Amino acid sequence: MSFATPALLDTRLYPFLADPVAVARRRFGVSPLEVARRRKEYVEIAFKRLDAALRRAFIPGPWKTLEEEVLSFYYAALAANLSGNRWVVSRLALAEANRAYELLKDEKDEVVAYLGRIVGLKSLSYGRSYREPIALVRGVPVYRVYHYSMNLVEYLHAARRLLGDDAWKPINYPVRKGVIYLEKQHVLRIVKEILVEYIEGKIIRSIGKDVSLELAQPIVGLIEHIKKELSERQEPRIRGTRVEIPKGVVIEEAFPPCIADLATRARRGDHLSHHERFALA
């Protein structure tokens, strides 16, 4: 399959694509954790990044320099991994994907397709357009143009969490010879789905793989912040004779059987339809 020539991809905006070791050594001549020991401002940015992810599932910024973005992402991701809490890792991945999704809205189409291929949508292409006739005005045909395309099987896998909503079913898009044609807004949403998986996988498999808590002392404050946030989310507050459950804390014993079943299936990794996920949320 041929692809349109990709435009330059600014890894400052998408720091999860960069190599933090290479960035640290090229700029400072030392490892990322040694940079954290010497330059506390990068850890402070990581704190803001991590705190926003935990509280709002969104990342502020982007910051001005590549080093600020890449190293702060690395420190936040490393702290999430070393915390031993899978929810924190997933939350950070979602927050990073949410910001990337917003930034991609302003990117050129070639960049969107290129980034999509990097993170796993191998067949995603821009420029292989399909024109669908949708109306006839005064004898002149009017077309809807789909500028993006990808392999149908890959689409079904990437959009599997969205297919519970009829709007995402392939019957609503042109499909020709095993290729589905899409508009930009649909591609962005699918890229976001894959980004969450890509970032979460990178944090779990790569970041912190050979880093112990002892070696991570320069960012121990980030790990402590995670523990503090989780503790505050789970600790009930007593006001007079009432016990208030903090926001974000779920009392599963209060679930009706249907919701309890959805929660169990979600933990197993089973596919939930859009409506099932909405009900569980």
Would you say how long the chain is, in residues? 281
Q: What is the pLDDT of residues 76-99, one digit of tens each?
A: 999 999 999 999 999 999 999 999
Q: How many structural domains is the chain composed of?
A: 2
Report if residue 9 sits inside a domain.
no
Do 39 and 104 lie in one domain? The reply is: yes
Could you tell me how far CA 188 lies from the centroid of its own chain? 12
Average pLDDT over residues 138-163: 93
What is the identity of the amino acid at 278? F
Report if residue 79 sits inside a domain.
yes
Do 95 and 147 lie in one domain? The reply is: yes
* Token pair recorded at residue 242: 């009432």
Rg of the chain on CA atoms, in Å = 22
Q: What is the pLDDT of residues 185-238, one digit of tens each?
A: 999 999 999 999 999 999 999 998 888 888 899 999 999 999 999 888 765 554
Q: Measure Cα distances from 225 to 46, 51, 209 in Å.
A: 11, 8, 21
97 C-beta neighbours (distance < 10 Å), count: 25
Residue with tokens 């990437």: 158
pLDDT at 265: 66
Cβ-contact 210, 200 below 8 angstroms: no
Instruction: Provide the β-strand partners of residue 239.
Output: 242
Report if residue 2 sits inside a domain.
no
Which domain, by its residues, includes 91? Answer: 15-228
List the one residue out of 147, 170, 166, 161 whose CA is nearest residue 189: 161
Do 220 and 254 lie in one domain? The reply is: no
CATH number for the domain that contains residue 207: 1.20.930
The rounded distance, in Å, linking the Cα atoms of 181 and 201 is 28
Do 187 and 70 lie in one domain? The reply is: yes
Do 46 and 155 lie in one domain? The reply is: yes
Q: Measure Cα distances from 136 to 139, 144, 175, 182, 249 in Å.
A: 6, 12, 22, 22, 55
pLDDT at 232: 80
Give the model's confidence band at 37: pLDDT under 50 very low, under 70 low, under 90 confident, else very high: very high
Report if residue 241 sits inside a domain.
no
Give the model's confidence band at 242: pLDDT under 50 very low, under 70 low, under 90 confident, else very high: low
